[in-house]
Amino acid sequence: MIVANRKPFEEIIEMLKPYSKILLLGCNECVTVCATGGAKEVSVLASEIRLFRQKEGQPVEIKELTLERNCDTEYVESLKPAINDYEVAISMACGCGIQFVGEHYRDKLVLPAVDTTFYGVAEEQGVWTERCQGCGACVLDKTLGICPVTRCAKSIFNGPCGGSQGGKCEVNKETPCAWQLIVDRYKEMNMLEKYLEIQPMKNWSTSRDGGPRKRVREDLKL
């Protein structure tokens, strides 16, 4: 899932200062699962904003609306009847959703209420960790399911580096060294000989380095 954090409240309040009729958007997908921007978090933020503005003597009207997805035209278009009744929209969807809503309603500002952070997993209730950076050329077959691009702070392909100590990364002593995990996994699977294969330099043009990416499936186009 895409993981996000809610922006600091002061930042949100500052962005909304000039407005008194606000559309607060949520998303039923990733940000619901990571407990940042689903219907529940939308209702909590709306309540907080109303309390703050009421206290300041500048009451606001907030419409809470959580779309099934903010990254699909068919759902974004469903905002049409509501969005024009509000001066501004602020969204708790990920960065994709925030931009996509803005692209559909050019005369409205769509402000971000969250900082989108990473593609991750829910390691346990209330704990999310990063697993993928969408580099566009997966190597999980070579590293037996542990991503060196994401989980190694340096994204190196022939590790570990000198900063690996006691299985931890020098960047943070709570972060496991990805290459230690990979070597342990080679051992566990009786495939340690794979560690001897030197990986050539990665072609990063499939990643962000090659610019914004696009995927087209001609058979699906209408």
Residue 59 or 210: the one with the smaller Cβ distance to another protein is 59
Using the contact rule CB under 8 A, the part of the chain among 47-55, 67-75, 137-145, 191-199 near another protein is: 47-55
- Window of 17-25, 40-48, 150-158, 194-202 that interacts with another protein by CB under 8 A: 40-48
Q: Is 54 in the site for another protein (CB under 8 A)?
A: yes
Beta bridge partner(s), residue 124: 127
> What gap in Å lies between CA 40 and CA 21, rounded to an integer?
20
Instruction: Determine if the peptide bond prior to 59 is cis (ω within 30°).
Output: no
Minimum CB–partner distance for residue 128 and another protein (Å):
17
Among 14, 56, 77, 209, binds another protein (CB under 8 A): 56
Binding of another protein by 43 (CB under 8 A): yes
Cβ(179)–Cβ(157) below 8 Å: no
Q: Residues 10, 74, 193, 218: which binds another protein (CB under 8 A)?
A: 10
Q: Which of 5, 14, 21, 40 binds another protein (CB under 8 A)?
A: 40
Residue 50: left (phi > 0), alpha (psi -120 to 50), or beta? alpha
Q: Which of 5, 14, 21, 48 binds another protein (CB under 8 A)?
A: 48
Whose tokens are 């606001």? That residue is 60
Is 73 an interacting residue with respect to another protein (CB under 8 A)? no
Nearer to another protein, 54 or 199 (CB): 54
SS3 assignment for 165-214: ECCEECCEEEEECHHHHHHHHHHHCCCHHHHHCCCCCCCHHHCHHHCCCC
Of 91, 130, 144, 80, residue with least CA distance to 113: 91
Instruction: With CB under 8 A as the rule, give the number of residues binding another protein.
Output: 15
First to last CA, the chain: 28
Please state, in angstroms and rounded to a whole number, the distance separating the CA atoms of residues 14 and 111: 11
Shortest reach from residue 24's CB to another protein, in Å: 14
Q: Tell me which stretch binds another protein (CB under 8 A): 45-53, 70-78, 128-136, 154-162.
A: 45-53
Residues lying near another protein in the complex (CB under 8 A) are found at: 9-10, 40, 43-44, 47-52, 54-56, 59
